[in-house]
């Protein structure tokens, strides 16, 4: 007989779970990971037993907070990228628009503060890092890999290692915001725009294929 804990299900349970996660995100950011589950329960308007019924450990709740925050941050970026792909925009426009959506979602003060909090707890709870990787920019790897492979097949770019290329694109347009946030600084909008447009241009200049190798059509 299985003894695995099963969280409550149903519409009412889902509403409570959403309230717990939203409250926990706010409390974790304000108080840090050391905050007690009783305080989270009180601010969510539920009992501590209810919180534990949904999330057996505090790190399970924190992992849910990470997933929820990343979903909020990246939903627009994912839909924008998919829209650009459907519309047949050229590669440069797709990469610029996708990069702007990444910044809108992941360079906010709240998101950067949550990322810092995750980093502070990685030694004790390495699963938080895995959750961040799976739910964060990593979720775009398959989309971006498919896009780049399509452009490779058309002869637009020549990319021997797609995984490396996606990481390089992140490094050019997104990671500077992460680096600045580690010492409490932010990047202004003008510099953000230049990081995106110049970064995408550098990326394409590096990988653009010889026009003679381009496939017809």
**83 and 150, same domain (yes or no):** yes
Per-residue pLDDT tens digits for 131-186: 777 777 666 777 888 889 989 998 999 999 999 999 999 999 989 998 888 887 88
**97 and 188, same domain (yes or no):** yes
Q: What is the pLDDT of residue 74?
A: 78
How large is the average pLDDT for residues 116-138? 79
**Residue 127: burial class (beta carbons within 10 Å; 0-12, 13-18, 19+):** middle
How large is the average pLDDT for residues 24-44? 90
**33 and 106, same domain (yes or no):** no
| Residue 134 maps to a domain | yes
| pLDDT-above-70 percentage for the chain | 90
For residue 111 the two structure tokens come to: 């998101």
Task: Say what the pTM is.
Answer: 0.76
Q: Which residue has the higher pLDDT, 180 or 196?
A: 196
| Residue 190 maps to a domain | yes
**160 and 87, same domain (yes or no):** yes
Per-residue pLDDT tens digits for 53-68: 899 888 889 888 888 8
| Out of 29-43, 78-92, 117-131, 194-208, least confident range | 78-92
Q: Give the domain extent around 41.
A: 8-56
**138 and 81, same domain (yes or no):** yes
Q: What is the pLDDT of residue 137?
A: 63
**31 and 93, same domain (yes or no):** no
**102 and 198, same domain (yes or no):** yes
Encode the chain in three state secondary structure.
CCCCCCCCCCHHHHHHHHHHHHHHHHHHHHHCCCCCHHHHHHHHCCCHHHHHHHCCCHHHHHHHHHHHHHHHHHHHHHHHHHHHHHHCCCHHHHHHHHHHHHHHHHCCHHHHHHHHHHHHHCCCCHHHHHHHHHHCHHHHHHHHHHHHHHHHHCCCECCCCHHHHHHHHHHHHCHHHHHHHCCCCCCCHHHHHHHHHHHHHHHHHHHECCHHHCCCC
How large is the average pLDDT for residues 2-31? 80
| Residue 3 maps to a domain | no
**125 and 168, same domain (yes or no):** yes
Q: What is the pLDDT of residue 2?
A: 41
Most confident range, picked from 11-20, 178-187, 193-202: 193-202
Q: For tokens 């990470």, what's the residue?
A: 66
| Out of 18-22, 111-115, 139-143, 153-157, least confident range | 139-143
| Residue 90 maps to a domain | yes
For residue 216 the two structure tokens come to: 């017809």
Closest C-alpha among 105, 99, 108 to residue 196: 99
Asked if pLDDT for residue 1 goes beyond 50, the answer is no
| Residue 161 maps to a domain | yes
| Residue 117 maps to a domain | yes
Domain count within the chain: 2
For residue 190 the two structure tokens come to: 């003008």
CATH number of the CATH domain containing 195: 1.10.357.10
| Residue 61 maps to a domain | no
| Residue 126 maps to a domain | yes
**39 and 82, same domain (yes or no):** no
CATH number of the CATH domain containing 14: 1.10.10.60
**169 and 150, same domain (yes or no):** yes
**18 and 77, same domain (yes or no):** no
**46 and 100, same domain (yes or no):** no
């Amino acid at each position: 007989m299985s003894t695995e804990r099963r969280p409550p299900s149903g519409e009412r349970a889902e509403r409570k779970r959403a309230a717990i996660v939203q409250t926990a995100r706010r409390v974790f950011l304000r108080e840090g990971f050391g905050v007690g589950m009783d305080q989270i329960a009180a601010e969510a308007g539920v009992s501590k037993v209810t919180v534990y019924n949904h999330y057996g450990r505090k790190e399970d709740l924190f992992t849910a907070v990470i997933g929820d925050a990343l979903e909020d941050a990246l939903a627009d970026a994912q839909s924008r990228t998919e829209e650009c792909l459907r519309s047949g925009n050229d590669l440069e426009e797709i990469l610029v628009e996708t990069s702007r959506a990444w910044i809108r979602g992941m360079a906010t003060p709240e998101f950067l503060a949550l990322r810092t909090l995750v980093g502070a707890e990685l030694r004790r709870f390495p699963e938080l890092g895995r959750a961040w990787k799976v739910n964060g920019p990593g979720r775009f790897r398959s989309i971006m890999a498919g896009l780049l492979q399509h452009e490779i097949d058309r002869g637009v770019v020549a990319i021997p290692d797609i995984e490396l290329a996606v990481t390089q694109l992140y490094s050019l347009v997104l990671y500077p915001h992460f680096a600045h946030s580690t010492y409490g600084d932010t990047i202004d909008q003008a510099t953000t725009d230049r990081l995106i447009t110049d970064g995408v241009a550098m990326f394409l200049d590096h990988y653009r294929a010889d026009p003679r190798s381009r496939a017809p059509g």
